[in-house]
Homo-oligomer: A and B are copies of this chain.
Amino acid sequence: MHCPDQKGIIAEVTQFIHKNNGNIIYIDQYVDRIQQAFFMRVIVESEFMRTPFEVFKASFKSEIEERFQLNCSFYLAEEIPRVAVFVSKYDHCLYDILSQQRSGKLACEIPFIISNHKDLSFIAEQFKIPFYHIPVTKENKKQAEDQQLMLLSKHKIDSIVLARYMQIVSSRLVDAFPNQIINIHHSFLPAFPGAKPYHSAFDRGVKIIGATSHYVTEDLDAGPIIEQDIVRVSHEHEVSDFILKGQDLERIVLLRALKQHCERKIMVYNNKTVVFN
């Protein structure tokens, strides 16, 4: 939940939970003093026999939400998000996502993979996940998008992860999935946005390269940053070394971001993220 910062809010919320047979097993809050905004994440154990989820939500709405102008999301622990994976030709992020999901370390369902190329269909086969090949050209952009949106809707997709998907996602998709499309950009944003960041980093002679995972917004590579990490390079490394070192970063950074997203630990506010532990 988040709302304008105000006194007594923690006390009110915790009392409500106790009164409604809930037991708080995790609570963390954060106050942005500049924006005067309050953020809180709570995990509650509850006996639903005594207070059903829908009743709980309805009472919370009427007793608390309106009063504090709360912006609140509720999730049942067993409701894990349904995530579609978009890829092109690079396989490192895709392999990481699928294998971690298969191991139970990434709490989501992956109903299908979409790609504008056929190259990685063999990985979808390995993991027995439907693979839709939707080529994108200047001419068919609109139809390709229609097809994507249809699949996303049909499969009740909650979130999309762009696992090195080499196409710019249109505003129709962004609007349909606000703060639900996660991208990995292969630079330390805001340095080197756009195409070929490793080449630009090499040309600039940096001593450190990075990767950035962020939510996709209308502005290219300018959405709320979720996670970043870096690795050291030196004059001895060529562009191809940057790429190899960078790919290890990309998969780690994207996976960290995706895990936190799937575990509902991220709140977006003011084009920034609050990421709870």
Partner-B contacts on A (CB < 8 A): 7, 10-11, 14-15, 18, 30, 32-34, 91-92, 95-96, 99-100, 102-103, 105, 126-127, 188-192, 204-208, 210, 224-230, 232, 234-236, 238, 244, 247-248, 252, 255-256, 271-275, 277
Contacts and interface: CB of A to CB of B under 8 A. Distances in A.
20 contacts: A7-B18, A10-B14, A30-B236, A32-B235, A34-B238, A91-B102, A91-B103, A92-B105, A95-B95, A95-B99, A95-B102, A188-B191, A190-B191, A190-B204, A191-B191, A205-B271, A206-B225, A207-B227, A236-B277, A252-B252
B235 A208 contact: no
B230 A230 contact: yes
A184 to B, nearest CB: 14
Identify the 7 closest CB pairs spanning chains A and B, nearest first: A205-B272, A95-B99, A191-B191, A126-B126, A207-B228, A235-B274, A208-B228
A226 B192 CA distance: 19
Q: Is the interface of A mostly helix, strand, loop or mixed?
A: mixed
A246 B235 CA distance: 24
Contact of A14 (B11, B205, B227): B11
A173 to B, nearest CB: 22
B189 A190 contact: no
B205 A208 contact: no
Contacts of A34: 238
A267 to B, nearest CB: 9
Contact of A95 (B18, B103, B191, B235): B103
Q: Which of A96, A235, A271, A272 has the most CB of B within 10 A?
A: A235
Contacts of A103: 91-92, 95
A144 to B, nearest CB: 26
A34 B271 CA distance: 37
Contacts of A192: 190
